[in-house]
């Protein structure tokens, strides 16, 4: 398990998050670091947003039992080319959750949350927005009711119960 990296001549310091730390792999030059993405199975440019995304991926897999084979990172979700940081599918490959990751220093304002909600072109039953320090998870109510804020990010078993809904 590494310490929080401080990288490069621009002093890109990755912030401490409320998500659990994990053993990550970083390579590259100090001013151009790359971190290994477990879902894409390749090294990707380490940015403050990527730091949050990799911590969220790790959290979902290790602590919420999300199968990596049912998750995608940086997925295109519509014909306009909108991308979602993490997309989660059920066992039948139907969309269950979209997750938008922001840099730790970006506040999760109502405007940011509304932007994430607009990305929901697939009408997934769960939407999560995180900056690595705060996490908001919303669940779609059946019968066309609005999304409600959950107390925590559900386990995969809990969201997979929605297979028949999607």
- pLDDT tens digits, one per residue of 111-138: 988 888 877 656 788 999 999 999 999 9
| pLDDT per position as a tens digit, 24-35 | 899 988 889 999
CATH number, span 6-164? 3.90.1570.30
Whole-angstrom Cα distance, residue 55 to residue 140? 25
pLDDT digits (tens, 9 = 90+) for 39-95: 999 999 999 999 999 999 999 999 999 999 999 998 766 656 667 899 999 988 888
List the beta bridge partners of residue 137.
Answer: 128
Q: Which two tokens stand for residue 109?
A: 């304002």
What residue ranges do the domains of the chain occupy? Answer: 6-164
How many C-beta atoms surround the C-beta of residue 152 within 10 A?
A: 9
Query: 145-149 and 135-141 as β-strands: parallel, antiparallel, unpaired?
Result: antiparallel
């Amino acid at each position: 398990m590494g310490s929080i990296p401080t990288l490069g001549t621009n002093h890109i310091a990755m912030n401490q998050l409320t998500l659990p730390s994990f053993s990550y792999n970083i390579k590259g030059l100090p001013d151009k670091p790359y971190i290994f993405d477990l879902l894409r199975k390749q090294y990707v440019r380490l940015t403050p947003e990527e730091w949050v995304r990799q911590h969220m991926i790790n959290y979902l897999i290790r602590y919420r039992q999300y199968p990596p084979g049912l998750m995608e990172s940086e997925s295109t979700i519509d014909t306009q080319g909108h991308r979602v940081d993490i997309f989660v599918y059920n066992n039948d490959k139907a969309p269950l959750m979209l997750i938008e990751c922001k840099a730790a220093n970006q506040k999760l304002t109502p405007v940011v949350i509304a932007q994430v909600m607009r990305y929901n072109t697939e009408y997934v039953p769960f939407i999560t927005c995180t900056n690595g320090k705060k996490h908001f998870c919303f669940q779609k109510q059946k019968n066309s009711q609005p999304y409600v804020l959950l107390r925590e990010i559900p386990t995969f078993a809990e969201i997979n119960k929605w297979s028949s809904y999607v």
